[in-house]
């Protein structure tokens, strides 16, 4: 079980975050939960890596945040993709599938 | 702008976001059956070091905020710029008027800056040039003269070099010329500098090829050596590196080339070669013979004040030791002050005038913007209603001003560049260092800054005004409201300022113009204008004997007299305004020897040929002028100027009186050859019209060698003809070539040219100030017209009523003129006060007119009032032309 963000390949956390908010604006906890559920807790993102990454991505202009109401009617900070973020996600996704396909080809028995 | 309002500060943002996360996680864990307290500990634990995570986030957050602020600022700027350009294109007439007005003012200002920068602001082109000083002798009144600035004598130079602690080194600098011959090329007259072995070290400039000459070569009788300028080395010797060590022929004698200076080095101004001065240490008797300009380099860290203090001590010591130095004091000034001379005063005046023109232009544009803001209230109101705050509106309007000023700066730079080049082509000698004038980075930077400052000057006032009004009114007119009255007051104030500033500029222009007229109209002492001048120097190689020279010059004089149409020919060792003049102490045979401490008699000496007075048209007041009969074997004669006669023999007939020059003969005895006064001529200005007249004598060239001062090797010939001077120049050249084909010609020109050159600076000043004055006047008139026309437009109805009720046309005209005359008269009154204070800038630059000349003040005021009324009359006529019925229907 990959326990932490540190175990992820370098830069992968950023891409996963971008993917997570690409469907709908999400707050930090929702991003963490979505990743956990989506991967059956195979990937557990450590909060200590998640939040600095969110702030960094926003600084880079790939994410924007807004304060809004959470599902429990609590004030929460929601992140959504910017146009730049969308382009970055597309590029990273393409690069990742090419990479994983190549790795799979090598690992495929026979 | 978010749905939940403003973003919290980044510290609170991080805290709240983490707290939310922890709460959500606790809720999840509790739902899975955790104990609430343990759940909270677990949630926090999963953060690792919570405080460090928060710190990380805050740092990133702060950077994010800075980035977003900048981004927003640029976005808004881009919006504002785009909007500004659209607005300006929508009002092309308005934009064009504003841009042209500002371009003229900005162009003029940046031109004056480019000249001031090259002439005054930039340091001299030498390393650590602030340590360079020029050293002079001051003649105290007790010496018989009151001269601030004169060359040093040889013994004074050597004493100073030996004793000064403050100076690292010093060099003498003398100018002269030599003829370079040989090598199959035409003979070439070179401007040469006579300098010390320390010259290169003092200036901090090293030869690029070879070496500078050494102290052992800088003594009388040493093997002659020369250092060449780079240009000459290239043009004459093809840059031959082997030239060093070989000899060239200067004035017929062999001189060894020891070095070549770097490209562009021609100090002091236009030198092509440098020769050792060879100051004579044994010449103690020459203490009174002043002929050496001196340039020194202060030791690192020594101030000019410290050097002054040292000179004071040295002067006191020499004054006790030598009688001569009791009345002749050394003093120093920075070399830069010496080089720029009185240029800073001229430039300060031009800068002040052009600054005022810029203010007038700003006031004018501000007025146009205020008038336009009325028409834009609707648009601004709509933007306010759409949520733009006042700061945003003001910023938008200021951006428009910046766009206008930017366009004006580009156009102004182009206009200014062209104008400056044209003016300097006409007046290349008006100021020192003009060859360095051009549009460079410094000028561009200044102009950009100027444009920004200008935009703020004319743009911020109207922008704030409009912004404030935008708050009070969302669309809809407010004519006649308090704001409207306030603006009208502001507009009148601006126009008054325009009138006041233009009056000052016009006054500067009028004063300098009157001064120029005075200079041009002043008799320089000679009446001939259209005569050709040419300078000829007979080299020692061909004309080795001094006594040969007068015969050779007479021969040349007779040849020149045969040129077609020539009326008369004369020559002198220096012409008026050509900067050649020497002054010698003399003695009188009817006076006892001068007592110690009493002033020496001293007069400027010019060596002339027969015909000189007649050719230049110098009035002969008494007696006769020289003839060919005044030969070397005849009785020694001389002529004196009127002021020389009045000073020396105030109560007697000068004719027949005698003076002479003391010299030491071969036995060591002091001898004097007495010279008898045979004529008195009118006073001459030596260098500049209007300067103080100095007593002067003329000596016949055929006798001067005998009177103790050697023969003159170089003479300037003046040829007066029935034909224009320029037309006979080719024949004059041909006559000189027929006399001796090896003689180079230099200083070829006309007497009028010499006069003109001496007047270039006052001409340039008067021309520039005249243009500035005209521009300011025009702008003020346009401004006044605008205000009156605006007021009339607002009162059309009222005028209609008045006319319908039977008021005569004249009354309406009077009412309209009253609108303009208020600001006009206030402006003239304020302007007179400003000008009375400002004229201290012109003091010392005027000739023949007082700075506070009442007639000029009156005339300029009348001009301003006249132009102002004219500008008001046009709207007045239009107002009365409107039929009353039409006005009422409006």
Domains of chain A: 5-107 (1.10.10.10)
Encode pLDDT of B9-45 as tens digits.
Answer: 888 899 999 999 999 999 999 999 999 999 999 999 9
Q: Enter the tokens of residue B716.
A: 């300037």
Q: Could you say which of A27, A55, A77 has the minimum Cβ distance to residue B64?
A: A55
Write down the pLDDT at residue B480. Answer: 44
Q: Do B562 and B738 touch, CB atoms closer than 8 A?
A: no
Encode pLDDT of B514-528 as tens digits.
Answer: 999 998 888 888 988
Where residue B656 falls among pLDDT bands split at 50, 70, 90?
A: very high
Write down the pLDDT at residue A3. Answer: 40
Instruction: Tell me if A28 and B17 make a contact (CB, 8 A cut-off).
Output: yes
Q: Do B259 and B207 touch, CB atoms closer than 8 A?
A: yes
Q: Enter the tokens of residue B329.
A: 């004091």
Residues of chain B in contact with residue A29, where contact means CB-CB under 8 angstroms, are 20-21, 24-25
**B283 vs B174, higher pLDDT:** B174
The strand pairing partners of B605, in sequence order, are B582, B697
Instruction: Tell me if A77 and B13 make a contact (CB, 8 A cut-off).
Output: yes
Write down the pLDDT at residue B478. Answer: 44
- Is B648 a residue whose pLDDT tops 80? yes
Where residue B53 falls among pLDDT bands split at 50, 70, 90?
A: very high
Encode pLDDT of B567-600 as tens digits.
Answer: 999 999 889 887 656 777 788 988 887 665 566 7
B238 Rama class: left (phi>0) / alpha (psi -120 to 50) / beta = left
Q: Do B452 and B406 touch, CB atoms closer than 8 A?
A: no
For CA atoms B625, B629, B631, B637, give the dihedral sign: negative
Instruction: Tell me if A74 and B20 make a contact (CB, 8 A cut-off).
Output: yes
- Is B267 a residue whose pLDDT tops 60? yes
B7 min Cα distance to partner chain A (Å): 8
Task: Spell out which chain B residues touch chain A, with contact meaning CB-CB distance below 8 angstroms.
Answer: 2-5, 7-8, 13-14, 16-18, 20-21, 23-25, 28, 46-49, 52-53, 56-57, 60-61, 63-64, 67
Write down the pLDDT at residue B384. Answer: 78
Q: Enter the tokens of residue B836.
A: 């009375």
Q: DSSP state, A67?
A: E
- Is B645 a residue whose pLDDT tops 70? yes
Where residue A8 falls among pLDDT bands split at 50, 70, 90?
A: low
**B585 vs B763, higher pLDDT:** B763
Q: What is the percent of chain B where pLDDT is above 90?
A: 42
- Is B362 a residue whose pLDDT tops 90? yes
User: Lowest-pLDDT range, B287-296, B400-409, B466-475, B499-508?
Assistant: B466-475
Provide the 10 A C-beta neighbour count for residue A10: 7
For CA atoms B391, B392, B396, B399, give the dihedral sign: positive
Encode pLDDT of B366-383 as tens digits.
Answer: 988 888 887 777 777 787
Q: Does A56 touch chain B (CB under 8 A)?
A: yes
Which of these, B647, B649, B660, lies nearest to B584 by C-alpha position? B660
Mean pLDDT score of chain B? 86
Q: What is the percent of chain B where pLDDT is above 70?
A: 93
CA triplet B850, B853, B854: central angle to 5 degrees? 165
Write down the pLDDT at residue A57. Answer: 93
Write down the pLDDT at residue B474. Answer: 46
Most confident of B465-479, B536-550, B668-682: B668-682
Cα separation of B604 and B627, whole Å?
21
- With both helix axes pointing from N to C terminus, report the angle between B548-561 and B725-739 in degrees, rounded to the nearest 10: 140
Instruction: Tell me if A70 and B20 make a contact (CB, 8 A cut-off).
Output: yes
Where residue A9 falls among pLDDT bands split at 50, 70, 90?
A: low
Whole-angstrom CA distances from B489 to B371, B477, B496, B791 are 13, 18, 11, 11
Strands B620-623 and B670-681: antiparallel
Q: Does A41 touch chain B (CB under 8 A)?
A: no
Write down the pLDDT at residue B339. Answer: 84
Average pLDDT over residues B489-513: 92
Cα separation of A37 and B614, whole Å?
117
Residues of chain B in contact with residue A28, where contact means CB-CB under 8 angstroms, are 17, 20-21
Write down the pLDDT at residue B889. Answer: 64
Q: Does A28 touch chain B (CB under 8 A)?
A: yes
Average pLDDT over residues B90-115: 92
Residues of chain A in contact with residue B21, where contact means CB-CB under 8 angstroms, are 27-29, 32, 47, 51
* End-to-end CA gap in chain B: 47
Phi, psi of B452 (to 5 degrees): -65, -45
Measure the CA dihedral B651/B655/B656/B657, to 10°.
Answer: 40
Q: Do B670 and B742 touch, CB atoms closer than 8 A?
A: no
Encode pLDDT of B191-220 as tens digits.
Answer: 888 999 999 999 999 999 999 999 999 888
Burial class (CB in 10 A: 0-12, 13-18, 19+), B90: exposed
Residues of chain A in contact with residue B16, where contact means CB-CB under 8 angstroms, are 75, 77
Q: Does A101 touch chain B (CB under 8 A)?
A: no
- Is B477 a residue whose pLDDT tops 80? no
- Is B287 a residue whose pLDDT tops 80? no
Q: Could you say which of B16, B28, B53 has the minimum Cβ distance to residue A51?
A: B53
Q: Does A110 touch chain B (CB under 8 A)?
A: no
Mean pLDDT score of chain A? 85
Cα separation of B836 and B839, whole Å?
6
Which of these, B398, B377, B400, B395, lies nearest to B471 by C-alpha position? B377
Provide the 10 A C-beta neighbour count for residue B656: 11
Where residue B476 falls among pLDDT bands split at 50, 70, 90?
A: very low
Write down the pLDDT at residue B360. Answer: 94
Which of these, B186, B195, B175, B230, lies nearest to B582 by C-alpha position? B175
Q: Does A59 touch chain B (CB under 8 A)?
A: yes
User: Lowest-pLDDT range, B289-298, B309-318, B590-599?
Assistant: B590-599
Q: Enter the tokens of residue B35.
A: 């104990």
Chain A and chain B share a number of CB contacts under 8 A equal to 77
Encode pLDDT of B148-183 as tens digits.
Answer: 778 888 888 988 999 999 999 999 988 777 888 876
- Is B320 a residue whose pLDDT tops 60? yes
- Is B391 a residue whose pLDDT tops 90? no
B82 min Cα distance to partner chain A (Å): 23
**Secondary structure of chain B: what % helix, strand, coil (to 5)?**
55, 15, 30
Which residues, in sequence order, are CB contacts of B798 under 8 Å at separation 6+?
Answer: none
Write down the pLDDT at residue B819. Answer: 81
User: Lowest-pLDDT range, B69-78, B319-328, B549-558?
Assistant: B319-328
């Amino acid at each position: 079980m990959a326990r932490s963000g540190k175990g992820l390949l370098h830069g992968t956390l950023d891409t996963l975050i971008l993917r997570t908010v690409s469907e709908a604006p999400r707050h930090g906890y929702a991003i963490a939960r979505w990743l956990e559920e989506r991967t059956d807790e195979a990937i557990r993102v450590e909060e200590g890596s998640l939040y600095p990454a969110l702030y960094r991505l926003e600084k880079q202009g790939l994410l924007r945040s807004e304060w809004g109401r959470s599902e429990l009617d609590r004030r929460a900070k929601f992140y959504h993709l910017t146009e730049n973020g969308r382009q970055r996600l597309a590029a990273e996704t393409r690069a990742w599938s090419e990479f994983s396909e190549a790795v799979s080809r090598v690992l495929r028995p026979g | 702008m978010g749905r939940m309002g403003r973003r919290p500060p980044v510290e609170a943002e991080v805290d709240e976001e983490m707290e939310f996360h922890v709460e959500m996680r606790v809720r999840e864990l509790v739902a899975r059956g955790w104990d609430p307290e343990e759940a909270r500990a677990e949630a926090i634990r999963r953060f690792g070091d919570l405080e460090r995570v928060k710190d990380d986030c805050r740092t990133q957050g702060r950077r994010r905020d800075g980035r977003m602020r900048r981004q927003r600022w640029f976005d808004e700027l881009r919006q504002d710029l785009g909007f500004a350009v659209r607005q300006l294109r929508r009002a092309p007439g308005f934009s064009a008027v504003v841009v042209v007005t500002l371009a003229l003012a900005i162009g003029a200002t940046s031109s004056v800056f480019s000249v001031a920068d090259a002439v005054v602001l930039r340091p001299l082109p030498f390393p650590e040039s602030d340590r360079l000083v020029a050293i002079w002798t001051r003649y105290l009144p007790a010496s018989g003269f009151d001269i601030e600035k004169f060359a040093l004598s040889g013994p004074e130079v050597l004493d100073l070099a030996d004793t000064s602690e403050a100076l690292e080194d010093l060099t003498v600098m003398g100018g002269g010329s030599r003829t370079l011959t040989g090598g199959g090329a035409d003979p070439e007259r070179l401007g040469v500098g006579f300098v010390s072995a320390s010259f290169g070290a003092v200036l901090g400039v090293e030869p690029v090829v070879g070496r500078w000459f050494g102290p052992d070569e800088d003594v009388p009788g040493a093997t002659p050596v020369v250092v060449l300028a780079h240009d000459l080395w290239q043009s004459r010797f093809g840059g031959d590196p082997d030239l060093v060590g070989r000899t060239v022929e200067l004035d017929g004698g062999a001189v060894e080339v020891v070095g070549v200076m770097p490209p562009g080095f021609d100090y002091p101004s236009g030198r092509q070669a440098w020769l050792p001065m060879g100051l004579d240490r044994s010449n103690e008797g020459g203490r009174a013979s002043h002929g050496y300009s001196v340039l020194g380099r202060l030791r690192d860290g020594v101030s000019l004040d410290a050097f002054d203090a040292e000179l004071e001590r040295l002067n006191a010591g020499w004054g006790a030791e030598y009688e001569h130095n009791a009345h002749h004091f050394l003093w120093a000034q920075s070399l830069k002050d010496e080089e720029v001379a009185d240029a800073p005063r001229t430039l300060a005046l031009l800068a002040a005038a052009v600054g005022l023109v810029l203010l007038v232009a700003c006031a004018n544009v501000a007025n146009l913007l205020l008038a336009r803001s009325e028409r834009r209230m609707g648009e601004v109101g709509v933007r306010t209603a759409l949520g733009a705050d006042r700061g945003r509106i003001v910023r938008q309007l200021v951006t428009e001003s910046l766009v206008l000023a930017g366009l004006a700066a580009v156009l102004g730079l182009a206009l200014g560049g062209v104008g400056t080049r044209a003016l300097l082509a006409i007046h290349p000698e008006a100021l020192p260092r003009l060859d360095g004038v051009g549009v460079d980075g410094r000028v561009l930077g200044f102009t950009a800054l100027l444009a920004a400052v200008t935009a703020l000057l004319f743009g911020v006032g109207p922008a704030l005004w409009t912004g404030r009004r935008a708050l009070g009114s969302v669309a809809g007119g407010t004519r006649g409201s308090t704001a409207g009255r306030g603006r009208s007051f502001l507009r009148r104030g601006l126009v008054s300022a325009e009138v006041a500033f233009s009056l000052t500029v016009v006054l500067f222009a009028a004063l300098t113009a009157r001064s120029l007229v005075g200079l041009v109209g002043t008799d320089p002492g000679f009446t001939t204008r259209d005569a050709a001048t040419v300078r000829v120097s007979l080299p020692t190689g061909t004309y080795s004997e001094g006594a040969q020279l007068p015969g050779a010059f007479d021969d040349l004089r007779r040849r020149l007299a045969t040129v077609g149409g020539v009326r008369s020919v004369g020559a002198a060792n220096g012409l008026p305004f050509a900067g050649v003049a020497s002054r010698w102490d003399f003695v009188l045979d009817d006076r006892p020897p001068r007592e110690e401490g009493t002033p020496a008699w001293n007069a400027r000496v010019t060596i002339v040929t027969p015909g000189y007075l007649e050719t230049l048209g110098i009035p002969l007041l008494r007696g006769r002028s020289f003839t060919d009969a005044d030969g070397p074997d005849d009785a020694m004669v001389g002529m004196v100027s009127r002021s020389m006669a009045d000073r020396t023999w105030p109560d007697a007939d000068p004719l027949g009186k005698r003076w002479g020059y003391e010299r030491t003969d071969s036995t060591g005895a002091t001898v004097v050859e007495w010279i008898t006064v045979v004529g008195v001529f009118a006073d001459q200005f030596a260098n500049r019209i209007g300067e103080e007249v100095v007593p002067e004598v003329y000596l016949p060239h055929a006798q001067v060698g005998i009177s103790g001062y050697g023969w003159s090797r170089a003479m300037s010939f003046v040829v007066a003809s029935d034909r224009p001077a320029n037309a006979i120049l080719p024949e004059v050249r041909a006559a000189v070539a027929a006399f001796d084909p090896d003689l180079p010609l230099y200083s070829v020109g006309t007497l009028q040219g010499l006069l003109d050159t001496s007047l270039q600076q006052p001409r340039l000043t008067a021309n520039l100030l005249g243009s500035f004055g005209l521009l300011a006047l025009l702008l003020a008139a346009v401004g006044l017209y605008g205000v009156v026309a605006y007021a009339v437009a607002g009162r059309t109805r009222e005028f209609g009523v008045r006319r319908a009720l039977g008021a005569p046309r004249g009354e309406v005209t009077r009412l309209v003129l009253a609108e303009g005359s208020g600001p006009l008269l206030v402006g003239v009154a304020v302007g007179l006060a400003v000008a009375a204070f400002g004229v201290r800038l012109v003091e010392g630059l005027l000739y023949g007119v007082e700075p506070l000349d009442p007639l000029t003040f009156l005339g300029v005021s009348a001009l301003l009032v006249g132009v102002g009324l004219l500008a008001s009359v046009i709207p007045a006529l239009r107002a009365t032309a409107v039929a009353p019925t039409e006005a009422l229907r409006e």
